[in-house]
Amino acid sequence: MAKDVLCEVNNCTFWEKGNLCGADQIYVVSHRDQASTSKETDCKTFEPQ
């Protein structure tokens, strides 16, 4: 498991200094049965500040 999860969405509740994600868990979904690019996924952990 990754030690640090990077995030550049600074208006998210879980954004922390250094572009780190402070969420306890990350929820990512795919628009297809199997994603082949990052554009085919969404991070559902985002919460605006």
Tens-of-pLDDT digits for all 49 residues of the chain? 678 899 999 999 999 999 999 999 999 898 878 888 888 888 888 888 8
Q: Quick one: tokens of 35?
A: 């994603």
> Are residues 33 and 40 in contact, defined by beta-carbon separation less than 8 angstroms?
no
Residue (of 16, 21, 17, 25) closest to 4 by Cα position: 21
Could you tell me the pTM of the whole model?
0.70
